[in-house]
Every structure is written in C-alpha cells, then in structure tokens.
C-alpha cells in the first residue's frame, strides 16, 4: 500500500475565474479530448481492440502505480496533476483488481481536489465505464457495484471493465450540504468540469497500467449522475462511445422552492401519509385500467390527464381535511405541481419553464413530501436541495432565508449559473460522430435516456422536452444514435415498478455490433411485485396489455402510442 505520492507543478492559477472560467474553456476548445488517446501519458496509448482480453496483473504492478501518477499534461482542464493516495490489490470472490484512489489537484492551493476511484480489473475487456454521482455529490463514487438500476449480476467491474468515479470535486457533510458552492473551483467541478477531469485521470492511469488506452469508454449515471451523463454527451462528446442517462437532473432549479412554498407556506396544505395514499388510490381507480390491465401502474398517462379529477377528493364544506378527503388548500398546492412552473425570466437556451410534475398520474408523493430532517414534517426534499442552491450558489450568503428568496432580484446570477449548470443543449454533433449518417462507419456515440413516469424529483416532462429537442434537431437521423424509454410506474430510482435492466449491456452491443436495443425488457426489482416484467417502449409509446397472457410477463404487452 502506497500513500501520498504526488506528481504535478506549483504553477499559479489560470487567471480564469467565476463566470468567465467555463465559457473561456469552451472558446479555447479545451472541453473535448480524444476517446482513443491518453493525453500526456508516457506509456503507450494505442487503443485496445474492443473486446480484447488482458492478462492478470500482479500486486507489484498495482502498488507501483504510485510512482507513475499523471502530471498536469494528462488532464485537459487546468490542474497540478494527480496525487495517488492509495493503490492496492483487491481480491473479492471471483474478482481481482487494482484499486486506485487519487486526487486531481487544483491549481490554487486552497481549492479542493477532485478525488477519484479507479478500478483496474484482471482480465480487462479493453473498455471503461465512468459512474455518475448523485445529489450534491461530495461522496467518492467507488464504481465497484452495479450501475444505476442495473442488475447486480451485470456489475461492470466483474464483467472486466475498468470502472471509475469521483466525488464531484468536494466533500459533503450531508446530502443537502451545498456549502462547497462558496468555492468557485468546487462549484465549477460540480457543474461539470469534474466529469472531464476524472475521465482524463482514469484514462491516463489505465493507459499506463495496461500499456494501452481503453478502446471504448462509456458513462452511466442517474439523477445528478444523469446530469453528468448529459454533460459528458454535450460538452465532452468525443471522449465517449456510449452514454446512459437515467432521470437526468438537467436544470438549475431554484424554482423548486415554489413547490415547497405551495405545500407548506400556509398551514394545512401538506398531505400526510394517509392523504398521499388517498390520492394515489383515487388516481389508480381512474387510470390504472387505461393501459388494459389493473396492476398498480398507470401506463397510459396521457389518457389519465383527462380521466382523473382531483376535485372528487374535495372535502364537504362542513368537514376538515382527513384521511378521507382533501382541503381546497391541499388541492391548490397539488395543482401548482401539476402545472408547469413558469420562470420569471428565461434560463439559458431560452428555457422558460419547468414541469409539470406527475402528481395526478401516480407520482411518488413520498418524495414530494419527504421531510428533510426526518422529524418535524415541515420541510421537503425540495427545500433541502434549494436551500443549498440559494444560500451557497446564488446569493452566496449562508444566512439567507430560503423563505424570503425572490428569484427576480437574482436574475443575472441565475442566468449565469444556468448557462454553466443546465444540460439542455441538443447539439450532440461531437458525440454522435458518424451516427447520424446511418452509414455505420467511424466513431459514433450512442445515447440511451431512461425516465420514470412517476418521478417527482426529475419530472418526466423535462426529459420528454429534451428528447423532443433532439428530435427537432436531428429528425430521422436521431434513431441512429439515441433511444428514450419512459417507464410507467418508475420513479426516482424506485417506485411501483422498480426498473432493473442491463442498460450497459444493451449499450455495448449497440456500440460494438451496431445492434440497437430490440424490444428491451425491464424487470421489476421491487420486493412486493417483482420479478414481473414489462417491455421498455420507445417514447412516447407505453406498454399496453394485449388482453391475454400472463399479466406479469412482458410478452403479454405491446408498445402502443397514446
């Protein structure tokens, strides 16, 4: 085990800070590397032929990595190189790999590094998978288990992939700790630069270890990791051969505080657990059978928009809200979420609204009304996230009161952040390569988008809108490099249908063999309802029961357009 070796320089900062840092890198063309070359390494970086196996490596080769920490020239964005904190051999059952923990050292001494974990397997398959983070990041992604919503028996490391992840460029005290936003370098890393820095560090280390660069590089992530996946596609597209983005959190979202205010600003507006169950039951009564089968899943959400009327739950004037009815205030709060939140001014790329949220289509209200502290029942997850964004990213005032936040006073700051944060850009030209031509030659990136219909953290309307913007840009050429699956009953990683699917396997076949996913099947991983299966339907289609056949089998369903 080797600790603390550092390779780098003591050079000063780049002179780019604040809002000018990221656009300047864009203008300089520094946000794209080459997926087939390990920039700046002294070892051979000839790409491994896809699928080529590698021999096992001994412990001496692993611990010796500490003397080959990549210098600044290996990291495209400014840094002082990589410090290797630990390199050790790990044998875990049938797996044997070299586990490397390092830190990409920032230009300024007081700025936090981007910590990385890189796993180098014996019997390497010649490919690499970058894992995304979650929430405010701040926790080192070990990248040793399954990908987001992937089956455990398809974990990439066990399948021979080099795997790696980062902490997003800071250490967080809690999932809602946004204090790192006071540091410009940490914030820039969180907003996307850490994706590139981690990729370059892992690429350089893997290239030295194996004597060859990865022949294929993939990115897989969900939520914030889904945002990072889209950042990879939109800003660093030439680095990746394939990307899977689950429920991607694409937007800077200070407007989430409006949902919190709608639910809690006035007494009695929040729904307790019994009232959440009341609403869910009423939605299912009206909409569950619209897809041909009553199975606890609203499949035809489009038809549900008109089939369900929330006013049927309104309490009589003589009754207070209870487990049997909702008050007018509660219904009004739900309607705020059920309609698009209109911004007071446009965000980057002309984005003017967010939502709606699927509160009337079976949405996961447990997430909407989740208590931030787990005790007092007065703050939602939206409050927890937005308090960090508002205090540390926008106002940069730790004492700012979220309750008093007025976004119109901070228009310039929000628009500046939105330009860096938002991952809504439909220009994927550098990522798709030759994919749009349909000619099947050259490097051509493949994108898989996956979204749950009941997600109350990342509303499906946002992912739908992004995919439609891709359709508008690429028209018929989109099918050559992108697939989007909207999964009924699936929420933010869980739900009435907790999706399990080997998305990486499907992506790899598409990239390697040119075989796009053909009627993929998702398995329900929920303890109560699994392992039932459903076809994953290409947006905007949904699984409709054929009327015969086992109700728990995907073969009994067809993909129908609403």
User: Using one digit for the tens of pLDDT, what is the confidence trace for 111-141?
Assistant: 999 999 999 999 999 999 999 999 999 999 9
Residue 255: what pLDDT?
61
- Evaluate whether 291 touches 301 at the Cβ level (below 8 Å): no
| Mean pLDDT within 209-220 | 95
Flag whether pLDDT at 64 surpasses 80: yes
Instruction: In whole angstroms, give the CA distance from residue 101 to residue 83.
Output: 9
Instruction: In whole angstroms, give the CA distance from residue 430 to residue 323.
Output: 54
Residue 438: what pLDDT?
39
64 contact partners, CB below 8 Å, separation of at least 6: 87
Mean pLDDT of the chain: 85
Q: What is the DSSP string of 420-454?
A: HH-------HHHHTTGGGT---S---EEEEEEETT
Instruction: In whole angstroms, give the CA distance from residue 130 to residue 142.
Output: 10
Flag whether pLDDT at 43 surpasses 90: no
Flag whether pLDDT at 50 surpasses 60: no
* Residue-wise burial string across 315-341, b where 16 or more C-beta atoms lie within 10 A, e elsewhere: beeeeebeeebbbebbbebbebbbeeb
- Evaluate whether 500 touches 522 at the Cβ level (below 8 Å): yes
Instruction: In whole angstroms, give the CA distance from residue 393 to residue 403.
Output: 16
- Evaluate whether 542 touches 491 at the Cβ level (below 8 Å): no
Phi, psi of 131 (to 5 degrees): -95, 140
Q: What is the pTM of this model?
A: 0.87
Expressed in angstroms, the distance from the first to the final Cα of the chain is 58
Beta strand pairing call for 162-166 and 127-131: parallel
- Evaluate whether 136 touches 179 at the Cβ level (below 8 Å): no
Residue 478: what pLDDT?
96
pLDDT in tens, 300-345: 999 999 999 999 999 998 888 889 999 999 999 899 889 988 888 8
Flag whether pLDDT at 498 surpasses 80: yes
319 contact partners, CB below 8 Å, separation of at least 6: 325
């Amino acid at each position: 085990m080797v600790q603390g070796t550092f390779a780098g320089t003591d050079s000063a900062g780049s002179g780019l800070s604040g809002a000018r840092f990221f656009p300047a890198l864009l203008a300089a063309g520094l946000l794209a590397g080459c997926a087939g070359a390990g920039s700046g390494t002294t070892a051979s970086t000839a790409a491994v032929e896809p699928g080529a196996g590698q021999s096992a490596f001994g412990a001496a080769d692993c611990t010796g990595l500490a003397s080959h920490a990549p210098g600044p020239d290996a990291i495209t964005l400014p840094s002082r190189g990589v410090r290797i904190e630990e390199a050790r051999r790990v044998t875990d059952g049938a797996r044997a790999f070299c586990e490397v923990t390092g830190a990409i050292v920032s230009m300024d001494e007081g700025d936090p590094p981007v910590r990385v974990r890189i796993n180098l397997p014996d019997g390497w398959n010649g490919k690499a998978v970058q894992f995304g983070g979650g929430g405010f990041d701040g926790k080192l992604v070990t990248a040793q288990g399954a990908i987001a919503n992937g089956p455990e028996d398809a974990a990439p490391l066990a399948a021979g992939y080099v795997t790696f992840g980062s902490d997003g460029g800071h250490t967080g005290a809690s999932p809602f700790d946004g204090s790192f936003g006071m540091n410009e370098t940490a914030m820039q890393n969180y907003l996307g630069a850490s994706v590139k820095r981690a990729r370059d560090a892992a690429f350089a280390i893997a290239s030295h270890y194996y004597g060859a660069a990865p022949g294929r590089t993939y990115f897989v992530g969900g939520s914030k990791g889904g945002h990072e996946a889209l950042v990879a596609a939109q800003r660093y597209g030439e680095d990746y051969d394939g990307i899977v983005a689950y429920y991607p959190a694409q937007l800077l979202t200070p407007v989430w505080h409006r949902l919190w205010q709608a639910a809690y600003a006035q007494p009695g507006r929040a729904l307790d657990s019994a009232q959440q169950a009341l609403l869910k039951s009423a939605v299912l009564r009206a909409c569950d059978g619209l897809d041909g089968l009553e199975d606890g899943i609203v499949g035809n959400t489009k038809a549900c928009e008109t089939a369900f009327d929330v006013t049927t739950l309104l309490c009589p004037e003589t009754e207070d809200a209870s487990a049997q009815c909702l008050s007018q205030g509660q219904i009004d709060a739900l309607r705020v979420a059920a309609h698009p939140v209109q911004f007071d001014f446009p965000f980057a790329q002309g984005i003017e609204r967010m939502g709606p949220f699927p509160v009337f289509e079976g949405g996961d209200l447990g997430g909407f009304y989740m208590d931030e502290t787990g005790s007092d029942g007065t703050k939602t997850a939206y409050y927890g996230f937005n308090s960090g964004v508002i205090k540390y990213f926008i106002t940069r005032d730790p004492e700012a009161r979220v309750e008093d936040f007025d976004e119109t006073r901070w228009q310039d700051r929000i628009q500046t952040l939105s330009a860096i944060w938002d991952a809504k850009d439909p220009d994927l030209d550098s990522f798709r390569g030759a994919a749009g031509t349909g000619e099947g030659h050259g490097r051509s990136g493949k994108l898989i988008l996956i979204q749950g219909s009941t997600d109350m953290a990342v509303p499906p309307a946002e992912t739908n809108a992004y995919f439609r913007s891709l359709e508008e840009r690429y028209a018929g050429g989109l099918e050559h490099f992108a697939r989007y699956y909207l999964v009924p009953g699936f929420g933010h990683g869980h739900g009435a249908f907790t999706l399990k699917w080997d998305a990486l396997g499907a992506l790899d076949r598409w990239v390697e063999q040119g075989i796009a996913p053909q009627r993929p099947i998702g398995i329900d991983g929920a303890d109560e309802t699994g392992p039932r299966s459903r076809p994953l339907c290409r947006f905007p289609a949904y699984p409709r029961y054929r009327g015969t056949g086992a109700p728990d089998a995907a073969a009994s369903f067809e993909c129908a357009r609403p």
